[in-house]
Amino acid sequence: MSATRQLQIVLAFAFITRLLLLYCFPLHMTDYMLINSAAQNLIDGHGMGFIRSSPENLSAFYFEGLRLWPPLVILTTTIFLKFTGSFELADITLLTVTLLGLIRVLYLFCKEIGLNIRYIIYTFLVFTLNPELLKRPGLSDVAAALFCIWALLILVRELKKEKHSGVVSLIFMSFLFFLPSAFRYQYYPVSLLFPCYLLAAAFFLKNRKLVRRSALSLSLVILFIFLQEYLLFVYTSQSVDQSLAMDKTGFFLFNLQNFYPFVFKTFLNISYIENRWNAALIPVRYIYYIITALLLFSFVIYAVRFFIVRVRNERQKQDQPRLKQTLSTLTTLPFLILPLVILIGLSLTHNSRTGQLGGWTYVNEGRYYIVPSLLLLVLTLWLVQEKWITYSTITQRILVLLFTLTIIYNLALTLKFYYNLTTNNIPDKELSNRTDRAAAYNYLQTFAKDELPTVITYNEPYFTFFPYINNVAITKKISLLAGQKLKTTKRIRLLIISKKDAPPADLALITEYNATSVFTTASYIIYSTTLEPE
């Protein structure tokens, strides 16, 4: 069988397997449901957001646009939802399209930076068999990764061109540089890095026309980011910091102790081991994370040194085509590092959700590492390809053995997944949550025709934010209302949606306002009380 046919089979297998994994193991549904509900509201003419209640006057209802994601996430979902008429079908269709696009642009990028067909096959074998590379992503995560790799592809092609096209291609390139930021705010610095890298490479190559195009592209990307932020601020009256998952700022070094070990997880399905030996791993967990950080640091130092030597040699030889090719491959390194720097910066300056060691923070969320993981995989294989003939026979055999064991291990787990899928042995871990959410929605709809306005305070957004319900609004979270005197200028009904194991802030609010239990599910209890104007 030819290498081309092998690659076609691997690519098809990659698409089918990744799609099934995304379908069977979706992200925690909060992200999906918030986006879907906002999309449904937009379709129904109620705006791209939700009806809120002011904490200063609970009877004052107002519309608040959804600021947690850039608008293109919701607008894209709205289009698919309009055509399919189903949240689930819209989500899986959108994931299918973005996944297919990601596989396509990743393949083209691998070709463009000089990976030969054998190493491209290796790349997609790891991509296919290791679910850690796309672990439970949200709608925005896959789309942002798609456009980030696509933008890298366009950057590399622009860098290698002998003749550059006109204004239309410049605008298209700049808009593509911006597009990752249109799906995830964390890509704002990455969007700026695309034209900055191109500008630096143009100066290095002494290409005046490319310098001008890069500078214009940087200006356009800044303009696109400004326009998005301006329109969002006008629509939502909120700044970008409202999209952050945590409120308390400062310096929290302990957050980095839970750094996601993506260096290992790029190549191996480590979660299988972690889930089965979690108790045994706890005492050595921080050593595990430290080893991950040291491996990453060592890899970056090695890659930087390799590229410095390669670029210096090719510049001395005045080998312009090879120099452009090396600068093209070098793109993988800064775009691997910058997303990590962003995650580390956010985690250092924003406390975990629990405020304690081990609480959720940005560096321990696997879906934020899609682009760094893909680039780490591609760059590692490219370095092996370039250095292969310089390795000793024993080193080559060790590398072949390691790669073979990696593929066998991941293949065994993938075959187990297919076996569980065909025997209907994959548990639906979100079934209980979906059932409880549907129950909450049905219960809240009973107040739609009630003359008494209903205000909701909550702990978990998943059980609170729904498509528009008449005369129902959502105020701040319970924890943000704690210790605050609730005020209203009209008589209202206050619903407190609390966990069954209610936190102290919930209990304090329930007790202070003499709220009584009115609705219960497996996950939460709804308490109700009536507030009178003073």
- The tens digit of pLDDT for each residue in 476-504 reads 988 888 778 888 999 999 999 998 888 88
Highest mean pLDDT among 39-43, 417-421, 480-484, 496-500: 39-43
Query: If we measure between CA atoms, which residue out of 307, 258, 297 comes closest to residue 113?
Result: 307
Is residue 203 within 8 Å of residue 173, measured between CB atoms?
Answer: no
Is residue 148 within 8 Å of residue 371, measured between CB atoms?
Answer: yes
Distance from chain centroid for Cα 413: 24
Amino acid found at 248: K
In tens, the pLDDT along 422-468 reads 888 887 777 788 888 899 999 999 998 888 999 999 988 888 899 99
Composition of the chain by helix, strand, coil, percent to 5: 65, 10, 25
Is residue 50 within 8 Å of residue 64, measured between CB atoms?
Answer: yes
Q: CA 206 to CA 25: how far, in whole Å? A: 49
Token digits for 383? 């370095």
**Cβ within 8 Å of residue 172, ≥6 positions away:** none
Q: Tell me what percent of the residues of the chain surpass a pLDDT of 70.
A: 93
**Angle subtended at Cα 492 by Cα 440 and Cα 47, rounded to the nearest 5 degrees:** 60
Q: CA 327 to CA 323: how far, in whole Å? A: 6
What local confidence, expressed as pLDDT, does residue 356 receive? 60
In 3-state terms, what secondary structure has residue 494? strand
Token digits for 525? 């209890």
Token digits for 317? 């030889």
Output b/e per residue, 425-440; b: 16+ Cβ within 10 A: eeeeebeebeebbebb
Burial class (CB within 10 angstroms; exposed 0-12, middle 13-18, buried 19+) of 235: middle
**Angle subtended at Cα 47 by Cα 42 and Cα 52, rounded to the nearest 5 degrees:** 130
The per-residue pLDDT of the chain, averaged, comes to 87
What local confidence, expressed as pLDDT, does residue 473 receive? 93
Is residue 464 within 8 Å of residue 497, measured between CB atoms?
Answer: yes
Burial class (CB within 10 angstroms; exposed 0-12, middle 13-18, buried 19+) of 367: middle
What local confidence, expressed as pLDDT, does residue 444 receive? 92
Cα-atom radius of gyration of the chain, to the nearest Å?
26
Is residue 189 within 8 Å of residue 144, measured between CB atoms?
Answer: no
pLDDT band at 27 (very low <50, low <70, confident <90, very high): low
Query: If we measure between CA atoms, which residue out of 453, 460, 446, 443 comes closest to residue 498?
Result: 460
Q: CA 31 to CA 524: how far, in whole Å? A: 19
Amino acid found at 430: E
In tens, the pLDDT along 221-258 reads 999 999 999 998 888 877 665 556 555 667 777 777 77
Token digits for 486? 């609730």
- pLDDT reading at 92 higher than 70: yes
Q: E strands, 215-295, where? A: none
What local confidence, expressed as pLDDT, does residue 278 receive? 61
In tens, the pLDDT along 101-136 reads 999 999 999 999 999 999 999 999 999 898 888 877
Q: CA 47 to CA 445: how far, in whole Å? A: 19
In tens, the pLDDT along 160-196 reads 887 777 889 999 999 999 999 999 999 999 999 999 9
- pLDDT reading at 197 higher than 80: yes
Residue 519 phi, psi (nearest 5): -155, 135
Q: CA 106 to CA 338: how far, in whole Å? A: 19
**Cβ within 8 Å of residue 432, ≥6 positions away:** 522, 523
Burial class (CB within 10 angstroms; exposed 0-12, middle 13-18, buried 19+) of 239: exposed
